[in-house]
Amino acid sequence: MFTIIKKTFANKKALIISVLLVLIYVVNKLFNTQPKIDTQNPLTNNETITYIDILTVAMADSFTDYDAIIGVFEKIDKDGYFQIYNAFGTKRYIDMFGGLSTDTFFGENLNLTQWLNNECNDSTKERITELIDFTLF
């Protein structure tokens, strides 16, 4: 009889933990959304994903690859940036490590402009502004 009670309690405990984890996930998704920016979508989906990958890798660790970032901005315009921005969404960013975090408890959700603002030096920000003819920072 005691083993049945122990198993029932363990099952209830597992159920409660599972429900709490699902609730945390749902609340995180609901409140960590960003508004979409209207764009003409000048890039294909493959180009957009490729540019996101390049930018994420360039900013993912403590050594930012400024040349890779500028290389992307040399190929796009303002509408291209907005398309990449929308597809990028938000990603976890840990400031002290300078980049991407897969951990949901550390860092903060930042959009692409916020990532670039944290990762790029002033001269890179100026060059990006010149290339897309739009002030991001």
Answer yes or no: is pLDDT of 116 > 80. Answer: yes
CB distance 83 to 63 below 8 Å:
no
Sequence length of the chain is: 137
Question: What predicted TM-score, i.e. pTM, was given to this entire model?
Answer: 0.70
Give CA–CA dist 47/80, Å, rounded.
Answer: 10
| Chain segment 30-81, per-residue pLDDT in tens | 555 556 666 666 899 999 999 999 999 999 877 899 999 999 999 999 999 9
Query: Which pLDDT belongs to residue 76?
Result: 95
Any idea where the domains of the chain sit in the sequence?
1-31, 37-132
